[in-house]
Amino acid sequence: MIKTIIVEDDIMHARSLTQMIREHFKNIQILSVCNNVPDAAEQIREQKPDLVFLDVELGPYTGFDLLAMLNRRDFEVIFTTAYQKYAVMAIKMSALDFIEKPIDINQLREALSRYKTKAGEKRLQNLLSNFQSNEQEQKIALFDQGSFLFVSVKNIMHLRSANAYTEIYYLEDQIVNKALMSKSIAFYEEMLEGKGLFYRVHNQHLINIKFIKRLVLDSGCAVIMDDPERSVIPVARSRRDQFVAYLRDYGIMI
């Protein structure tokens, strides 16, 4: 049995989630339903759940506040939220699951199918770091060969679309590394929005402005990246003027 605690301050959402779990997921045991952070912290310490369904907004607190209160975080978390894009981005970047309210049975089933026991101390710690850090100190969790690789956002150089996959190029110890991810470049474009100066210069390319070495405007537009290979990345003709305007708006070009 998967021992579970639900932390939700909306009575109707708490009842709905409880009913769905009891009717459709017989392998899940609900230990407690808490409607505030202090009670939830006490219940988690006492009952040691495997999985916590955690609302993002909890009265004067947040779900992140609850996690920060706990010394023990060797349980998995599925967040439930109705809004707050910034919070959802922090969750995504930490490779944690969330379900949008009102909760749909199919979303719940998908989240639970991804649930893995003995999860997440590092991922939860990374979430708190992402939520509390400034933009350039945040990290992104990349699933790579059976484990999660944590890469500083500031070290991501560029991303390239490879059909349904995305190649992420990042700098580590002055060496350019590549990770192949099974999500679209649009997913990462949304995730990295507001976390540094990332720009989609082409349908297949998203670049970190910090790593541009040269911008070539004649005979086609392209950027040359400041890496050992001096990677050349095309700028789509339809995006050229907007890209140049973007650089000027941020004072990078005059």
Average per-residue pLDDT in the chain? 83
pLDDT at 91: 63
Query: Residues 139-162: pLDDT tens digits?
Result: 777 766 667 778 888 899 999 998
Q: Identify whether the C-beta of residue 4 lies closer than 8 Å to the C-beta of residue 29.
A: yes
pLDDT at 217: 85
Lowest mean pLDDT segment, chosen from 6-10, 37-41, 97-101: 97-101
pLDDT at 71: 74
More confident residue, 198 or 91: 198
206 by DSSP, 3-state: which?
strand
Domains and CATH numbers, the chain: 2-132 (3.40.50.2300), 135-249 (2.40.50.1020)
Residue 43 has pLDDT above 80, yes or no: yes
Query: Residues 50-78: pLDDT tens digits?
Result: 899 999 888 888 887 888 788 777 788 88
pLDDT at 99: 83
Residue 85 has pLDDT above 50, yes or no: yes
Task: Give the total residue count for the chain.
Answer: 254
Q: Identify whether the C-beta of residue 50 lies closer than 8 Å to the C-beta of residue 117.
A: yes
Lowest mean pLDDT segment, chosen from 10-19, 24-33, 184-193: 184-193
Q: Identify whether the C-beta of residue 53 lies closer than 8 Å to the C-beta of residue 26.
A: no
For 173-190, give one letter per residue: b (16+ CB within 10 A) or e. eeebeebebeeebeebbe
Residue 133 has pLDDT above 90, yes or no: no
pLDDT at 117: 43
Count Cβ atoms within 10 A of the Cβ of residue 86 and give its class: 0-12 exposed, 13-18 middle, 19 or more buried: exposed
pLDDT at 126: 57
Q: Is this model's pTM higher than 0.75 or not?
A: no
Name every residue whose Cβ is closer than 8 Å to that of residue 105 and which is 6 or more positions away in sequence. Answer: 20, 24
Q: Identify whether the C-beta of residue 202 lies closer than 8 Å to the C-beta of residue 186.
A: no
